[in-house]
């Protein structure tokens, strides 16, 4: 099953605060660019901007923690599905 337990959420919250270099309580595209590209979740700055825009529910151009967590949940679900299919040779 793919979900985050409380310990994982707390670790993600800590990482979110580390990424929030301007301490605004939000992560803008520039703050998350290096992370998304290095993890292979984005290839270009434009990809990063598109990801942030897609996840930005309140339209402020940045991700709050809940929006950031949604990105991680979406990625986790895709990875679990891929692992499920691979494990079953599908």
- pLDDT tens-place string over residues 36-77: 999 888 999 999 999 999 999 999 999 999 999 988 888 766
CA dist 57 and 69 (Å) reads 12
3-state secondary structure of 27: strand
- pLDDT band at 19, cuts 50/70/90? very high
Cα distances (Å, whole numbers) of residue 86 to 4, 10, 43: 22, 30, 24
With beta carbons less than 8 A apart as the criterion, state whether 45 and 36 touch. Answer: no
CA dist 83 and 18 (Å) reads 29
Residue 1 makes CB contacts below 8 A (sequence gap 6+) with: 80
Query: Is the pLDDT score of 1 beyond 90?
Result: no
Query: Is the pLDDT score of 81 beyond 70?
Result: no
pLDDT of residue 89: 45
Query: Is the pLDDT score of 4 beyond 90?
Result: no
């Amino acid at each position: 099953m793919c979900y985050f337990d409380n310990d994982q959420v707390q670790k993600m919250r800590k990482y979110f605060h580390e990424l929030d270099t301007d301490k605004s309580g939000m992560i803008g595209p520039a703050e998350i660019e290096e992370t998304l590209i290095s993890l292979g979740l984005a290839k270009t700055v434009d990809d990063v901007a598109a990801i942030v825009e897609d996840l930005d529910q309140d339209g402020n151009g940045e991700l709050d923690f809940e929006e950031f967590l949604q990105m991680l949940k979406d990625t986790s679900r895709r990875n679990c599905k891929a692992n499920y299919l691979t494990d079953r040779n599908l």
